């Protein structure tokens, strides 16, 4: 593993957030579109090796990953990778590890997520990414502000995190790590 930060490629991983349209379609939310805009700004600054958009579709239509890539207005010299199967944050982490295996060497990864999602993303991504040799940091989006209902939903999801992580790690044939240490960096 290379410890020199100049030898590591940078990758952005953007988490999807959905909302249902009036017609029942699975679309990306305003906070998700704001995450894409944040990733565009980061791509200008960091010049990443790739941008990975992760998220599924509950209706069989275009996935969150596909919709975010379609919404991209940033650099056109950066590969946009669509991960379209992750149904929750734990699967976002596990399924993007699979994507990162296809890129060169250990990476510096910045996960772009909503401010309300940040504690869960940090809990699920940091130990897994580090175990696979990647450094991980976070860039969060705070506008538009999540509604009170979304904050309540997020609090309710805390009780599911351990089970979600265990189920997602089974996709990699791994078990949760007891790794400790400082968590990610922030941008």
Gap between the Cα atoms of 100 and 82, Å rounded: 12
Question: Is 168 among the domain residues?
Answer: yes
Q: Are 88 and 64 in contact (CB under 8 A)?
A: no
Question: Is 185 among the domain residues?
Answer: no
Per-residue pLDDT tens over the stretch 74-127: 999 999 999 999 988 889 999 999 899 989 778 999 999 988 788 889 988 999
Q: Which residue range is the domain that position 163 belongs to? A: 7-176
Q: How many domains does the chain have?
A: 1
Question: Is 64 among the domain residues?
Answer: yes
Tell me the mean pLDDT in the region 45-58. Answer: 94
Q: Are 90 and 176 in contact (CB under 8 A)?
A: no
Whichever domain contains 105, its CATH number is 3.40.50.620
Q: How many CB atoms lie within 10 A of CB 110?
A: 26
**13 - beta bridge partners?**
52, 111
Q: What's the pTM?
A: 0.81
Query: What dihedral do alpha carbons 109, 110, 116, 122 form, nearest 10°?
Result: 30
With 50 as the cut, is the pLDDT of residue 36 above it?
A: yes
Question: Is 130 among the domain residues?
Answer: yes
Question: Is 38 among the domain residues?
Answer: yes
């Amino acid at each position: 593993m290379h410890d020199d930060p100049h030898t590591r490629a940078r990758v952005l991983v953007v988490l999807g957030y959905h909302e249902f349209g009036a017609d029942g379609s699975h679309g990306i939310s305003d906070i998700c579109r704001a995450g894409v805009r944040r990733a565009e700004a980061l791509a200008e600054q960091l010049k990443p090796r790739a941008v990975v958009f992760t998220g599924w579709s509950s209706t069989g239509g275009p996935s969150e990953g596909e919709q975010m890539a379609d919404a991209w207005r940033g650099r056109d010299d950066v590969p946009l990778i669509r991960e379209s199967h992750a149904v929750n944050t734990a699967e976002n982490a596990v399924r993007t590890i699979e994507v990162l295996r296809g890129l060169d060497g250990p990476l510096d990864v910045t996960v772009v997520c909503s401010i309300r999602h940040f504690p869960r993303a940090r809990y699920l991504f940091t130990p897994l990414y580090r175990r696979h040799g990647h450094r991980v940091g976070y860039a969060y989006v705070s506008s538009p502000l999540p509604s009170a209902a979304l904050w309540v939903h997020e609090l309710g999801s805390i009780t599911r995190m351990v089970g979600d992580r265990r189920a997602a790690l089974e996709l990699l044939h791994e078990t949760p790590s007891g790794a400790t240490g400082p968590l990610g960096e922030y941008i």
